[in-house]
């Protein structure tokens, strides 16, 4: 029988519930259990594909082409499993399904209501992974904060599951702030949040407190008493430098043992050794490697968020750690180079450059200039999706002498559309069908024997995940190749250019895919690994980098 662990959040959003969920899953896995995780997003969108990255963070892409909340990325990275798109449930999906059934007469004669019809649909979706009977545990993270209007029906649904006889544990993640003026950690917000949760009919089994410093015994006692839990079930989740160490923080507080005890489970293997070693090695890495990420989704109001590129950041970390290096990521706003091209020389102060995925027009010229600089100065370069498209544009403009060459995403009337829509995208756009219609999910590519990319992957055929509408225009492949650019990975039908490289450069590699989605802490993505190894060779004496400001 599958056990469910439901994770809810209290007090504020952005507590790192995703990391907490992934970490609980990880310790269960390290104790010998088969675990998967689901994310409930209470927004009306059917998926995350149409959300703005600065508002909601990165759009995570699954093997089966789902455009999902970034928390699924944490689950995959921590649990080292592929998580399919139906492990993400949104209000839009649930209401869409209920309304569709109503129109088809599936509820004939009934008044269709939030309870039971919407909650039944939620439970049906939560129970799908359990039917695959592969898992001992299904973790379900409910997005948002207890007390929000929009997640009430999800909370009601998971409340009913226990009543219906399922084995369910509830974990509530809260924030315990320290007021600077008082210098004291305050438990009142947690008390109120749990009160609200209990008002909905859910008594948490565990309370995980996000705190700056480890929770002391006085606050622990108070939370236990006021929130009706045992003291030992109040878990401290204090700030930590490396998020991959959170499972070990929980392990120290015997969280796994406590979960197993509550569920009367006995099997308990200890497979923590490799993970502990990995964390210890990360701590040991002292030599720094500076990687510049040239993006644009940084600003929200007066704050700068790196969540929009979380998988790229994690992939850099995995590859750096695997080479015993300490990653130091520099944010480079490409618009800076449009205003002040002389600042391009500051790029010399990083060891390698990544131009990640992106949409729209802003910052494009600055990115093209960055790529040109990397190409002309033998600066290791990795282009991801848009980063490959712009590398092709730059090469067409400056090496092939195709004046005005551009992607049609940037200039519809370019005389040389080196990057263009594939035919099926034309109708999609004309009919404004924007949701879930890009080239999405895992696609194969055959790699060219003897190429650098072939060497890095060590395989003839690889699959990577995609999310884009535009492609290299097949009509320009010949001229680009005649001028020295090598398309080293091509779709099996020979039409789509999936990987490229410049053989004369120490490392100039790009892909139409997003290999960052398959990078795992102990299994770095080959192209990131290649970038780090190349930068290791080219390393220059470290100089300060203050010149680059975003
Ligand atoms: N905007 C480009 C396209 O749609 C690139 C997308 C991306 O970088 N993911 O093809």
- Which pLDDT tens digit goes with each residue over 420-457? 988 778 787 777 777 778 889 999 999 999 999 999 99
Domain boundary among 253, 279, 305: 279
Quick check: 228 and 206 in contact, CB under 8 A? no
> Which residue, 314, 244, 328, is CA-closest to 280?
244
Catalytic residues: 385, 514, 516
Give DSSP secondary structure letters for 82-138: ---GGGEEEHHHHHHHHHHHHHTTTTTTSPP-IIIIIHHHHHHHHHHHHHTT--SEE
Number of domains making up the chain: 2
Looking at ligand 1, which atom is closest to the CA of residue 467? 9
Same domain, 224 and 292: no
Q: What is the pLDDT of residue 466?
A: 97
Same domain, 321 and 183: no
Instruction: Report, as an integer, the average pLDDT of 367-381.
Output: 95
Q: What is the pLDDT of residue 539?
A: 53
Quick check: 451 and 424 in contact, CB under 8 A? no
Report the distance separating Cα 203 and Cα 181, nearest Å.
33
Same domain, 255 and 309: no
Same domain, 238 and 319: no
Q: What is the pLDDT of residue 301?
A: 53
* Residue 57, in any domain of the structure: no
Same domain, 442 and 295: yes
Establish whether the linkage from the previous residue to 116 is cis, with ω within 30° of 0.
Answer: yes
Q: What is the pLDDT of residue 180?
A: 81
| Burial class (CB within 10 angstroms; exposed 0-12, middle 13-18, buried 19+) of 343 | middle
Quick check: 159 and 200 in contact, CB under 8 A? yes
Same domain, 24 and 110: yes
* Residue 190, in any domain of the structure: yes
State in Å: Cα 471 to ligand 1 middle.
9
Residues 499-514: pLDDT tens digits?
999 999 999 999 999 9
Same domain, 182 and 292: no
State in Å: Cα 456 to ligand 1 middle.
24
Same domain, 312 and 273: no
Q: Residue 285's CB: how many other CB atoms inside 10 A?
A: 16
> Which position has the higher pLDDT, 427 or 187?
187
* Residue 124, in any domain of the structure: yes
Instruction: Report, as an integer, the average pLDDT of 209-227.
Output: 94
Q: What is the pLDDT of residue 257?
A: 95
Looking at ligand 1, which atom is closest to the CA of residue 514? 9
Residue 496 confidence class, pLDDT cut points 50, 70, 90: very high
Nearest CA residue ID for atom 9, ligand 1: 357
Residues 448-487: pLDDT tens digits?
999 999 999 999 999 999 999 999 999 999 999 999 999 9
State in Å: Cα 284 to ligand 1 middle.
37
pLDDT at 34 over 60: yes
* Residues with a CB atom less than 6 Å from ligand 1: 357-359, 385-386, 389, 409, 467-470
For 13, 455, 462, the CA distances from 451, given in Å and listed in that order, are 46, 6, 14
Q: Across the chain, what does the average pLDDT equal?
A: 92
pLDDT at 545 over 50: no
Same domain, 310 and 217: no
Same domain, 119 and 27: yes
Q: Residue 49's CB: how many other CB atoms inside 10 A?
A: 18
Find the CATH number of the domain harbouring 444. 3.40.50.880
Q: What is the pLDDT of residue 542?
A: 43
Same domain, 300 and 384: yes
Same domain, 274 and 289: no
State the DSSP code for 143. Answer: P
Find the CATH number of the domain harbouring 234. 3.40.50.300
* Residue 522, in any domain of the structure: yes
pLDDT at 361 over 90: no
Domain span at 252? 3-38+106-279
Q: What is the pLDDT of residue 53?
A: 67
* Residue 70, in any domain of the structure: no
Domain boundary among 221, 250, 279: 279
> Which position has the higher pLDDT, 435 or 115?
115
Nearest CA residue ID for atom 3, ligand 1: 468
Residues 38-90: pLDDT tens digits?
999 999 888 888 777 666 678 999 999 999 988 999 999 999 999 999 999 99
Q: What is the pLDDT of residue 550?
A: 34
Give DSSP secondary structure letters for 353-387: EEE----SSTTHHHHHHHHHHHHHTT--EEEETHH
* Residue 44, in any domain of the structure: no
* Residue 68, in any domain of the structure: no
Quick check: 387 and 351 in contact, CB under 8 A? no
Domain boundary among 279, 314, 339: 279
* Residue 64, in any domain of the structure: no
């Amino acid at each position: 029988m599958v056990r469910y662990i439901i994770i809810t959040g209290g007090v504020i959003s952005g507590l790192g519930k995703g990391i907490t969920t992934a970490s609980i899953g990880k310790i269960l896995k390290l104790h010998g259990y088969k675990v998967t995780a689901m994310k409930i997003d209470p927004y009306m969108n059917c998926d995350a594909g149409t959300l703005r990255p600065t508002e909601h963070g990165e759009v995570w892409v699954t093997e089966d082409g789902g455009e999902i909340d970034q928390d699924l990325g944490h689950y995959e990275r921590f649990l080292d499993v592929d998580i399919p798109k139906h492990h993400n449930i949104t209000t839009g999906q649930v209401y869409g399904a209920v309304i569709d059934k109503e129109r088809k007469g599936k509820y004939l004669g009934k008044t269709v209501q939030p309870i039971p019809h919407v909650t039944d649909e939620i439970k049906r979706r939560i129970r799908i992974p359990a039917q695959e009977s592969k898992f001992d545990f299904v973790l379900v993270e409910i997005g948002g904060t207890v007390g929000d209007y929009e997640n009430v029906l999800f909370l009601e649904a998971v409340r009913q599951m226990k009543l219906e006889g399922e084995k369910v544990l509830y974990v509530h993640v809260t924030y315990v702030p320290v007021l600077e003026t008082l210098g004291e950690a305050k438990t009142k917000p947690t008390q109120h949040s749990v009160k609200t949760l209990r008002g909905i009919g859910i008594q948490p089994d565990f309370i995980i407190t996000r705190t700056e410093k480890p929770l002391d015994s006085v606050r622990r006692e108070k939370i236990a008493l006021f929130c009706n839990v045992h003291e030992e079930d109040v878990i401290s989740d204090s700030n930590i430098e490396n998020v991959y160490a959170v499972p070990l923080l929980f392990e120290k507080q015997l969280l796994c043992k406590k979960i197993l005890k509550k569920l009367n489970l006995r099997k308990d293997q200890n497979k923590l050794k490799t993970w502990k070693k990995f964390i210890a090695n990360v701590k040991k890495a002292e030599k720094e490697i500076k990687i510049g990420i040239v993006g644009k989704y940084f600003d929200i109001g007066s704050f700068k968020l790196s969540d929009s590129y979380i998988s790229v950041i994690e992939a850099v970390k995995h590859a750096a750690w695997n080479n015993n290096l300490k990653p130091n990521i520099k944010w480079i706003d490409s618009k800076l180079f449009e205003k002040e091209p002389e600042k391009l020389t500051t790029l010399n102060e990083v060891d390698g450059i990544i131009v990640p995925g992106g949409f729209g027009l802003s910052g494009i010229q600055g990115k093209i200039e960055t790529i040109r600089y990397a190409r002309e100065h033998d600066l290791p370069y990795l282009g991801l999706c848009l980063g490959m498209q712009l590398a092709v544009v730059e090469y067409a403009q400056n090496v092939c002498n195709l004046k005005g060459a551009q992607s049609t995403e940037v200039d519809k009337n370019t005389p040389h559309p080196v990057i263009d829509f594939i035919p099926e995208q034309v109708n999609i756009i004309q009919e404004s069908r924007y949701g879930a219609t890009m080239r999405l999910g895992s696609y194969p590519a055959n790699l060219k024997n003897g190429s650098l990319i072939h060497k890095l992957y060590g395989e003839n055929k690889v699959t990577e995940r995609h999310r884009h509408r535009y492609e290299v225009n097949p009509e320009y492949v010949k001229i680009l190749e005649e001028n020295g650019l090598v398309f080293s990975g091509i779709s099996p039908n020979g039409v789509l250019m999936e990987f490229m490289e410049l053989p004369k450069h120490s490392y100039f590699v790009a892909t139409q895919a997003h290999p960052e989605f398959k990078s795992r802490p102990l299994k770095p993505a080959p192209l990131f690994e290649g970038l780090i190894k190349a930068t290791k060779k080219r390393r220059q004496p470290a100089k300060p980098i203050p010149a680059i400001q975003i």
